[in-house]
């Protein structure tokens, strides 16, 4: 279940960043991509803890 959240958060952030980058808005692309990558990393760190339960 956490893998779906991981993939979804990362895909949404990268998609929004890609659309902003395609529009020429580099600062917004960075602003959209980094938080999603951080959230995806946090979810990835939770996956081993969820398997232990």
State the pLDDT at residue 53. 61
What pTM was estimated for this model as a whole? 0.70
Give the residue numbers spanning the domain of 30.
2-52
Q: How many structural domains compose the chain?
A: 1
Query: What DSSP letter does each residue of 4-28 carry, written as one string?
Result: HHHHHHHHHHHHHHHHHHHTT-HHH
**pLDDT tens for the 53 residues of the chain, in order:** 777 888 888 888 889 888 999 999 999 888 888 888 888 888 888 878 767 66
Alpha-carbon distance of 43 to 5, in angstroms, equals 7
């Amino acid at each position: 279940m956490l893998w779906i959240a991981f993939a979804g958060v990362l895909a949404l952030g990268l998609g929004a960043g890609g659309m902003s980058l395609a529009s020429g808005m580099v600062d917004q692309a960075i602003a959209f991509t980094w938080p999603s990558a951080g959230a995806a990393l946090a979810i990835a760190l939770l996956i081993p803890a969820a398997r232990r339960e």
